[in-house]
Amino acid sequence: MLNIQKKKIGQMIICASFAFFMGCTSQNESKEVIVKDGIITIKVDLDSVKDGKLTDYFEPEIEYLLLQEGDNPEAQIGEIAKLVGYNDMIFVFDWWIGKSVQIFDRQGNFIKRIRQQGDGLGKYIELADIQVVQDTIYLLAHPGKIIKFDLEGSFIHEIKIPVMGRTFYYDINSNHFFVYSGARSENLVSEIDHKGSVLKSYFSSHPNIFYRNMGDPVNFYESNDGFYFTRTYVDTLYRFTSDGFKPEIIFDFGKNAMNHEKMKEKQLEMDDKAFREYFQENSGASYSPFGFSNSKYMLSRLSTAGRGIVSIFDKQNKTHDLVNFNLINDIDESFDFYPPVYQLEGTEVSIAYRGPSLYNKAVEKKQTMSDEDWKAYQAGKGKDFIEAAFYGKETENYVLLILKTKK
């Protein structure tokens, strides 16, 4: 057993931008973040990208947690698409290879796998998304259903839905599901009740918006008292309210912003291969919802031509940083890594490495040090990292690097 802890998106899109820029009364303003009439505009200056350190945004501790497979083949993880933390359990969502959900405890012990492939009640052909809330596991699945399980992985009930689902969010305030159906759907988001009836539809497709059919890792972000919807290339996050979705956070890329009209023209003119090449070089900059949101930060990647940039918005202080893709590890100095993208519980966030990959990082680290310095590092600040890497060498499962965001 190993639990190593360091001592311890339609018309509304266009209208939203015009409504904002037609002049409002400023209530709070800084250089990068402007708040007017409840709408936050984040001015993105790509020349201001800097190196970031872990301790700029996270508490100075890393927990290394090996998700153990032992001799049980059901514990072997294919590919992590999403991690969810709930009640001291970790739910591993693998929609691509394993087509399953695996449950581990906080010591990394395997508990159970949910894998119900097939036709019929409680079964699915493919999986799309997961949410765990109010002691219930909700799986968005194909064909057209939301399946409920208890925390032990036992089937409870399924809800058939009349829309294609790519990602979803269960809002405990309205007691409704919000299902994102993808860029080619007539309406991007459908509000659905527990009987599977569509109550309302939001974000009708707009001819002036370049959508591109791609899978967004995250479309629904949690906010302090509700949730947001967004998607790649839109640059706006919409908070759900009693009056529907309202724009709340706008990323302003200025002259670097994607030219939606040109992208749509080129997409019609070119074959797929030529357009992909054109897009890579001429797409400009835009928002890419891949990250996490908690009470302190909203972290996302930005889509730019050939450059990895991360956006970190401090919700409490209304400040915004642009940092290079890899954060400097000034906690245990093991290796620099990309920012955590998986939201666990509370302030906890995580990234995941295959065990052998972590071991290779340890080998690389050793090669940069003298024997004396290595021994000191192994016995000191690098102890947990080296121990995790040693155990990770013997498994194809993942080691989670868990951090806590600053309060």
Ordered by start, the domain boundaries in the chain are 4-8+10-404
Distance, CA of 103 to CA of 130 (rounded, Å): 12
List the pLDDT tens digit at each of the 407 positions of the chain.
455 443 334 444 433 433 333 334 344 456 899 999 999 999 999 999 999 999 999 999 999 999 999 899 999 999 999 999 999 999 999 999 999 999 999 999 999 999 999 999 999 999 999 999 999 999 999 999 999 999 999 999 999 999 999 999 999 999 999 999 988 889 999 999 999 999 999 999 777 888 776 667 889 998 878 999 999 888 999 999 999 999 999 999 999 999 999 999 999 999 999 999 999 899 999 999 899 999 999 999 998 877 889 999 999 999 999 999 999 999 999 999 999 999 999 999 999 999 999 999 999 999 999 999 999 999 999 999 999 999 999 999 999 999 999 98
Domain formed by 4-8+10-404, architecture: 7 Propeller (2.130)
Distance, CA of 358 to CA of 335 (rounded, Å): 10
- 104, 110 contact by CB (below 8 A): yes
φ, ψ of residue 310 to 5 degrees: the values are -120, 135
Residue 28 structure tokens: 């709070």
- For residue 210, CA distances in Å to 118, 190, 235, 267 come to 36, 20, 12, 9
Task: Tell me the whole-structure pTM to 2 decimals.
Answer: 0.90
Distance, CA of 60 to CA of 349 (rounded, Å): 13
Helix (H) or strand (E) holding 344: none
